[in-house]
Chain A
């Protein structure tokens, strides 16, 4: 005879507002096999857990049902409490009264009845629960950091400085990310490159960090502590060890008119190129799409001029597999593409540019050497119109969120412009100014009071070119929506920050969840901001949502601590909720007949072949065995097994039938 305890939680008012918790407790107490039942306002609180622990001891409970929230929320909490009271933690089950009942139904008798039904099925299940023992697995103390922007750099350095190995994978030929493109940073106006490049160099020189640039993560296998990461090192057509980075090849390359991605198309580069002077590593790659040799089979000028003979035209992509215990996603963001704004002529008029292009214009290393000159004719613009929220907070454009960084960088742009072109006038169209942050509001004020930025609250409806000027028409909503028309020389759009084009594909490859905007999803918006829903995979920076530099860096250090904490263990404990193949006494040994259908469907390659031998060492039978390190407990093999030889611990066929039957037998 079982002795089950039922503990009904009110969850403040989350459950008790629509469910009669006291009644649930009373009715549950009368169920067959229930030795004790009670209700309490916050079962997850310390006093709540104490109630459970004491009841286990006092009533000698052999099973516990906590009727509260989703097991995703508090199952670990209550299982731990049970373990502390001496009960095997896997004899504790959660009845989800909150997400599955109280939140989705109105206050009425039927809702309470449903809650009772849910508790009843779990009581029946818990009676058939077995004591399970956790599985121990080793931890590979190496982290793979995907993305080498400021978030990736900070994460890698923090983990490496804790004494752990880090492998950084960057898609571009250099690390640095968007931050390396910026001119100056808000709210201090310190030079972006000056604060970032030392960090980039530190990454390259750190003994614990291995850097793979021009490389992408192709695949991921395994689980927390024991990932296998497949990395494609794209061919740079270069022997990096021989190359000294002298740069002679880049000066001699005949392909000189390729739009420079780093300059956002405002300058040109060669086919063999280093993306920018401070690049790390400071060695070139050949862009095969534009290289004359790869297009026409002739040229090889770079090979001829190379003093160390480092060019390798026949080099192929290399795929390597590395072991890692944790992965941190720091893949960053992108800004909206030009065809998003037909009304602003972005992509049609040369002098309508985006914020990142303005950064390059203002940058000392940019295409104009830091002078603000407009792209069409190189003239110094006398009037620049900045448009904040270009795409952001605009349901019609499908981007309902605030891109967060634009208010600040637009104020910065206005200041930089004024500092460089004293007679110029910056106009800023805005919706609201969102300047929450240390010294942020003061910074925006400074733009207005000291640098004469003219803020106009309203939206721009259209921009068109006329006689070399850009006619910007909008409304000033603080003057009763009076129409405003400004003849500008240049327009800068603070285009919305969006997820990287490859984000969705990467998320699917790594099995991490993402939101409707394709930003990676954190495990909990408040309490687990740097974790993903997949154990062992963390995230930091703007791949999660638009973030500024301080926020990205803070998140990066947060993620690094999570990784370091994981690596502080030599072994990890895994939930034993995995599949097992039954074993019986000879001569049957197991009902498994060795058909290995399970092997073909297992998504985690967890099925092994086990040979059963007699005393003479002869193989009598070959049956399936589940690798408890690889099995994720998905249950696909259980469903497919023809002889019912496989079962899922914690969710056995028997347990599921019991639950169903309990629901049917009212």
Chain B
């Protein structure tokens, strides 16, 4: 099957491995990701701070292009892009006049009916149902799932999971064999875009997160946002300086975790691209999925 795909700038630049792992994972489940032709920047933080019309027009153009090309469902792995697209869609659907204004500006019709998925929602709908039978190397490590801010906020607009204590990624990781640790910083700020202008602030904020994950005995931090990933990963030398520790916990995408679990290679998932090396080796399950189910069923009848 085919489904629309909007990578955004991060996935074609600094976070190539996110793109690689999303595509590889989709491929493993026979899903073809079709990029929205001629897509443009979502406007990111800059647009909605500076120019309201621009901040709506940029995501609206992507949505209009998707509609024009018959894409009814679109996966947006970057949390920031997802946030901008969802917020725009919601605002324009709420205000019909504004929608026709923007539509006129773009010179394209816009119905506002495209379904937008973040990576978790995509996994929940298209990966999770057939995940159990595909797992060949369960990811049997302790992980700290880190959601960041943009995936779940603002709650009233994105309407996804619980903003204060989200569970969706933890459930997915658990389904792939991981043990997700209970920890308090799932949605703490990583410092986001200050990574360039105020690196020390980012090191302090991200450091708090990484340190907490380590202290809760996590072996990997799992994320779903390229910004979070780069702050926790690329800024590790600064983080180590602030915390005075040598923290070597890897920061991986949920798609990489699932990819490993279904037997994709590290290379296919771009795991070699991270700054903090990823050294965990998921082992092949002793028994096949069917066998495991059989054992489980037997155990249940005995109990």
Contact = CB atoms under 8 A, between A and B. Distances in A.
Contacts of A348: 182
Contacts of A443: none
B278 to A, nearest CB: 27
B167 to A, nearest CB: 9
Contact of B164 (A462, A466, A471): A462
Interface string B259-270: 000000000000
Contacts of B182: 348
B277 interface: no
Contacts of B283: none
Interface in B173-199: 182-185
B165 interface: yes
A342 B184 contact: no
Contacts of A464: 183-185
- Interface SS of chain B: helix, strand, loop or mixed? loop
Contacts of B184: 345, 462, 464-466, 471
Main secondary structure, interface of A, reads mixed
A352 to B, nearest CB: 12
A462 B162 CA distance: 14
A54 interface: no
Contacts of B162: 342
Interface size, B (range): under 10
A343 interface: yes
Contacts of B164: 341-343, 462
A373 B203 CA distance: 40
Contacts of A342: 162, 164-165
Interface in A360-405: 396
Nearest to B155: A396
Please classify how large the interface on chain A is, using the bins under 10, 10 to 19, 20 to 34, 35 or more: 10 to 19
Nearest to A464: B184
A390 to B, nearest CB: 13
Nearest to B166: A342
B170 to A, nearest CB: 13
Interface in A469-487: 471
A40 B185 CA distance: 68
Interface string B144-177: 0000000000010000001011000000000000
Interface in B70-94: none
A464 B185 CA distance: 9
A302 B182 CA distance: 43
Contacts of B185: 464
A462 B165 CA distance: 10
A464 B164 CA distance: 12
Interface in A311-354: 341-343, 345, 348
Contacts of B155: 396
A304 B266 CA distance: 69
Contacts of B165: 342-343, 345
B154 to A, nearest CB: 10
A466 B184 CA distance: 9
Interface in B115-168: 155, 162, 164-165
Contacts of A462: 164, 184
A339 to B, nearest CB: 9
B46 to A, nearest CB: 26
A465 B181 CA distance: 13
Interface string A196-235: 0000000000000000000000000000000000000000
Contacts of A341: 164
A342 B155 CA distance: 14
B217 to A, nearest CB: 13
Nearest to B215: A466
A341 B183 CA distance: 16
A465 B183 CA distance: 9
A342 B165 CA distance: 5
A464 B184 CA distance: 6
Nearest to B167: A342
B87 to A, nearest CB: 17
A52 B157 CA distance: 58
Contacts of A471: 184
Interface string A552-566: 000000000000000
A465 B165 CA distance: 14
A240 B156 CA distance: 53
A117 to B, nearest CB: 34
Nearest to A467: B215
Interface string B183-224: 111000000000000000000000000000000000000000
A480 B78 CA distance: 35
Nearest to A462: B184
A341 B163 CA distance: 11
Residue among A348, A464, A465 with most chain B CB within 10 A: A464
Nearest to A339: B162
B218 to A, nearest CB: 15
A396 B184 CA distance: 21
Nearest to B184: A464
Interface centre among B155, B165, B182, B183, by most chain A C-beta atoms within 10 angstroms, is: B165
A453 B75 CA distance: 52
A301 to B, nearest CB: 29
A348 B184 CA distance: 11
Contacts of B183: 464
A465 B185 CA distance: 11
Interface string A428-465: 00000000000000000000000000000000001011
Nearest to B162: A342
Nearest to A342: B165
Contacts of A343: 164-165
A411 B39 CA distance: 59
A341 B165 CA distance: 9
A463 to B, nearest CB: 8
Contacts of A465: 184
A624 B191 CA distance: 79
A471 B162 CA distance: 21
A395 to B, nearest CB: 10
Nearest to B182: A348
A64 B164 CA distance: 63
A471 B208 CA distance: 14
Nearest to A341: B164
A462 B184 CA distance: 8
A462 B186 CA distance: 11
A345 B182 CA distance: 11
A396 B162 CA distance: 12
A465 B212 CA distance: 11
A471 B212 CA distance: 13
A332 B133 CA distance: 52
A348 B162 CA distance: 15
A471 B183 CA distance: 12
A473 to B, nearest CB: 10
B215 to A, nearest CB: 8
18 contacts: A341-B164, A342-B162, A342-B164, A342-B165, A343-B164, A343-B165, A345-B165, A345-B184, A348-B182, A396-B155, A462-B164, A462-B184, A464-B183, A464-B184, A464-B185, A465-B184, A466-B184, A471-B184
3 closest A-B pairs by beta carbon, nearest first, are: A464-B184, A342-B165, A343-B164
Given A348-B182, A464-B184, A465-B184, 11 more contacts: A341-B164, A342-B162, A342-B164, A342-B165, A343-B164, A343-B165, A345-B184, A462-B164, A462-B184, A464-B183, A466-B184
